[in-house]
């Protein structure tokens, strides 16, 4: 560079640059800035930073705390700055204890109950009560400070909590939905074997839903319907599976998810042609599955209750064989 500067006796050449513009203002003084090459490493070592070898980022920060509870009072507030995820191991309660609650606050004045997921949960079962028996919970940290509040009178003994906080968020293991029950926060789940009746999405249980339908016969039935007028359904994912039975033949099935006549756009549908695995008749444990994900959610709007109808047809003729469809998405008022 023509701006380079010699140092000392002239044997060392320092890379530099003449400054002509400083903070957006013309600089005519001719000052120079030294160009510095970035590196890193422990004491005595230097590793150059290159396009393929950037500066390391230490994201493995964590904190492990053991908290003994020996009274009915809340524990001291714990500052969670730098941490976004927690895992809580709960020990047996002290004598007289009836419950334990995790609380969070930003001002340490008003405290709110925080729901966590039990590590053994297989559906979206969140709980705000940690109980008084040995268990393991996890979930995101929602505020600057957290504390633990026991319930019941203290008589004797100690309840031990082991709290592990991480800088990087984790993932809830309770991502599924029980297919035969209504799960708070996920709307209504449709039990296997859909019927021609109406299966309404819940109003007060959250705006996410997962609806499941399965059978061994072709049918047309109402699969999903909005709970109230002006509610809009957004479909984000469709999963399907087909598998054989003793009398099954290698016949494709056509899944048609159809917007009802009172929806907008009326009659719009998504078709999935499901081909069984090749090779003749399907055994009971042999089949195929697939999925469709919508980059832009399929919006089913309505001035009255919107609905989606599921039609399942064998091609070319009906046969014995099992199928399952899972539809996921969310719904809201606008």
User: Which CATH number is 248's domain given?
Assistant: 2.60.120
pLDDT value at residue 203: 45
Residues 96 and 143 in one domain: yes
Total domains in the fold of the chain: 3
**Has residue 94 been placed in a domain?**
yes
Please give the Cα distance from 120 to 142 (Å, whole number): 22
pLDDT value at residue 9: 67
Residues 214 and 326 in one domain: yes
Residues 28 and 101 in one domain: no
Residues 250 and 139 in one domain: no
Inter-residue contact 172 to 122 (CB < 8 Å):
no
Nearest residue to 325 via CA among 148, 228, 192: 192
Nearest residue to 163 via CA among 22, 67, 21: 67
**Has residue 178 been placed in a domain?**
no
Nearest residue to 103 via CA among 148, 133, 156: 148
pLDDT value at residue 245: 55
**Which tokens in the block code for residue 7?**
């140092």
Residues 216 and 326 in one domain: yes
pLDDT value at residue 193: 35
**Has residue 158 been placed in a domain?**
yes
**Has residue 270 been placed in a domain?**
yes
Residues 219 and 315 in one domain: yes
Judged by average pLDDT, the poorest of 66-80, 133-147, 238-252 is 238-252
Of the two residues 232 and 117, the one the predictor is more confident about is 117
Dihedral angle at the C-alpha atoms of 55, 59, 61, 62, nearest 10 degrees?
A: -170
Q: Which of 138, 166, 194 is the last residue of a domain?
A: 166
pLDDT value at residue 92: 93
Residues 145 and 212 in one domain: no
Spatial CB neighbours of 140, under 8 Å, sequence gap ≥ 6: 84, 85, 86, 169
pLDDT value at residue 204: 38
Of the two residues 200 and 104, the one the predictor is more confident about is 104
**Has residue 201 been placed in a domain?**
no
Residues 22 and 138 in one domain: no
Q: Which long-range contacts (CB under 8 A, 24 or more apart) does 27-32 make?
A: 32/3, 32/5
- Rounded mean pLDDT of the chain? 75
pLDDT value at residue 106: 95
Q: Provide the CA 188 distance to its chain's centre, in angstroms.
A: 19
Residues 81 and 29 in one domain: no
pLDDT value at residue 227: 55
Residues 265 and 300 in one domain: yes
**Has residue 289 been placed in a domain?**
yes
Tens digits of residue pLDDT in 166-222: 887 776 654 433 333 332 333 333 333 333 334 445 443 456 777 777 777 777 665
Which residues is 258 bridged to in the sheet?
269, 309
pLDDT value at residue 262: 66
**Has residue 177 been placed in a domain?**
no
User: By residue range, what is the domain housing residue 265?
Assistant: 208-332
Please give the Cα distance from 13 to 10 (Å, whole number): 7
Residues 231 and 127 in one domain: no
**Has residue 271 been placed in a domain?**
yes
What percentage of the chain's residues is helix, strand, coil (to nearest 5)?
A: 0, 45, 55
Q: Which of 166, 195, 225 is the last residue of a domain?
A: 166
Residues 216 and 327 in one domain: yes
């Amino acid at each position: 560079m023509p701006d380079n500067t010699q140092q000392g006796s002239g044997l060392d050449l320092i890379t530099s640059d003449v400054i002509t513009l400083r903070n957006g203002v013309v600089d005519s003084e001719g000052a120079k800035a030294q160009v510095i090459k970035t590196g890193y490493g422990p004491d005595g070592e230097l590793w150059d930073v290159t396009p393929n070898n950037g500066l390391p980022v230490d994201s493995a920060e964590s904190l492990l705390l053991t908290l003994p509870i020996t009274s009915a009072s809340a524990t001291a507030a714990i500052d969670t700055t730098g941490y976004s995820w927690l895992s809580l191991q709960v020990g047996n309660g002290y004598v007289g204890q009836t419950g334990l609650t995790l609380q969070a606050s930003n001002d340490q004045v008003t405290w709110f109950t925080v729901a966590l997921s039990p590590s053994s949960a297989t559906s979206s079962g969140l709980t705000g009560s940690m109980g008084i028996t040995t268990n393991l919970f996890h979930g995101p940290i929602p505020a600057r400070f957290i504390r633990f509040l026991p319930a019941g009178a203290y008589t004797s003994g100690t309840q031990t909590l082991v709290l592990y906080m991480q800088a990087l968020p984790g993932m809830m293991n309770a991502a599924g939905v029980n297919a035969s029950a209504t799960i708070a926060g996920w709307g209504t789940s449709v039990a296997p074997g859909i019927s021609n009746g109406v299966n309404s999405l819940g109003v007060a249980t959250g705006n996410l839903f997962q609806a499941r339908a399965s059978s061994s016969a072709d049918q047309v039935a109402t699969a999903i319907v909005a709970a109230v007028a002006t509610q809009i359904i957004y479909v984000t994912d469709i999963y399907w599976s087909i598998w054989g039975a003793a009398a099954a033949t290698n016949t494709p099935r056509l899944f048609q998810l159809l917007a009802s006549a009172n929806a907008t756009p009326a009659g719009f549908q998504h078709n999935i042609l499901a081909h069984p695995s090749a090779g003749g008749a399907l055994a009971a444990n042999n089949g195929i599955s697939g999925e469709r994900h919508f980059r832009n959610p399929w919006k089913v709007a309505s001035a009255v209750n919107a609905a989606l109808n599921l039609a399942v047809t064998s091609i070319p003729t009906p046969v014995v064989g099992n199928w399952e469809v899972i539809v996921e998405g969310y719904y809201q008022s606008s």
